[in-house]
């Protein structure tokens, strides 16, 4: 186990539904809107999806083949750690603050991207859907802070 804080390992954007994702080194996150250039920019709550490379490695082991970050169609992949899934949890990516809205459920389209069993391998490993509370720039290499929501 590492004691280093997680970092942003990859950023992916897709300009529209079912269009291929492109890898970028940095992106602008707008508070209340999402990632500039992504298909979900301007939606009500689904601004940014965040997943962990550590969880992708576990999914790859279960699937028996690699699970590349872009194949999951998530926006941000962090180097390690568990992405909080409880609504209200906070994730900070560099200067950008996110709030978890819900767990990111793997859809059946993942079987198209990853092959049979892809969606099942990502169950409980697909990260979270977040809204942008504080905007700014997110860049590969930025430090990540993960904070679970306080219990009620």
Per-residue pLDDT reduced to its tens digit, 82-139: 999 999 999 999 999 999 999 988 776 676 677 777 677 777 888 999 999 999 999 9
Q: Residue 30 domain-assigned?
A: yes
Q: What percent of the chain has pLDDT over 70?
A: 93
Q: Residue 61 domain-assigned?
A: yes
Q: Residue 152 domain-assigned?
A: no
Segments forming the whole domain that contains residue 93: 8-147
Q: Residue 58 domain-assigned?
A: yes
Q: Residue 82 domain-assigned?
A: yes
Structural domain total, the chain: 1
Q: Residue 3 domain-assigned?
A: no
Q: Which of 33-47, 73-87, 118-132 has the lowest mean pLDDT?
A: 118-132
Structure confidence at residue 149 (pLDDT): 77
pTM higher than 0.85: yes
CA 72 to chain centre: 9
- The CATH code of the domain that includes 78 is 2.40.33.20
Measured distance CA(149)–CA(73) in Å, rounded: 25
Cα–Cα distances in angstroms (integers) from residue 121 to residues 35, 68, 76, in the given order: 27, 13, 19
Q: Residue 60 domain-assigned?
A: yes
Q: Residue 2 domain-assigned?
A: no
């Amino acid at each position: 186990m590492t004691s280093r804080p997680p970092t942003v390992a990859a950023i992916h954007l897709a300009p529209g539904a079912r269009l291929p994702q492109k890898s970028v080194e940095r992106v602008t996150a707008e508070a209340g809107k999402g990632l500039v250039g992504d298909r979900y920019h301007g939606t009500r709550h689904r601004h940014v999806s965040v997943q962990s490379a550590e969880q992708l490695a576990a999914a790859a082991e279960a699937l028996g083949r690699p699970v590349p970050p872009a194949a999951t169609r998530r926006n941000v992949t962090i180097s390690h750690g568990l992405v909080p899934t409880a609504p209200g949890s906070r994730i900070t990516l560099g200067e950008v603050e996110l709030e978890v809205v819900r767990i990111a459920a793997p859809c059946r389209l993942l079987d198209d991207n990853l092959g049979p069993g892809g969606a099942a391998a990502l169950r409980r490993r697909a990260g979270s859907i977040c809204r942008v509370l504080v905007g700014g720039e997110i860049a590969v290499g930025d430090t990540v802070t993960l904070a679970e929501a306080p219990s009620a």
